[in-house]
Amino acid sequence: MATHLILYVKPGCHLCDEARVSIQMADPNLVVEEKDITKDAGLTARFGNRIPVLEHPHTDRALDWPFGPPDIDDLAADPAGHRP
């Protein structure tokens, strides 16, 4: 079963482009759902200028930019630290 993460982004965000590259470098098999915060007032209020933010939807863990492959691998691990 592939690990599912959420990447919060907004249009024109060059750091979001860098985050996508880091995610791809960490594990090209990660399933990453992108959510545009500008389309949801709640997400805009929650994340504002913090984006990109990478979140594990089944835990309360999230990474604010900058993050790299080791950080992403750690986030993608289950709470016990094991990859699926």
Helix (H, G, I), strand (E, B) or coil at 8: strand
**Dihedral sign from CA coordinates of 75, 61, 9, 84:** positive
pTM over 0.85, yes/no: yes
How do residues 8-46 score in pLDDT, each as one tens digit?
A: 999 999 999 999 999 999 999 999 999 999 999 999 999
Phi, psi angle pair for 54, to nearest 5°: -110, 125
CATH number of 4-76: 3.40.30.10
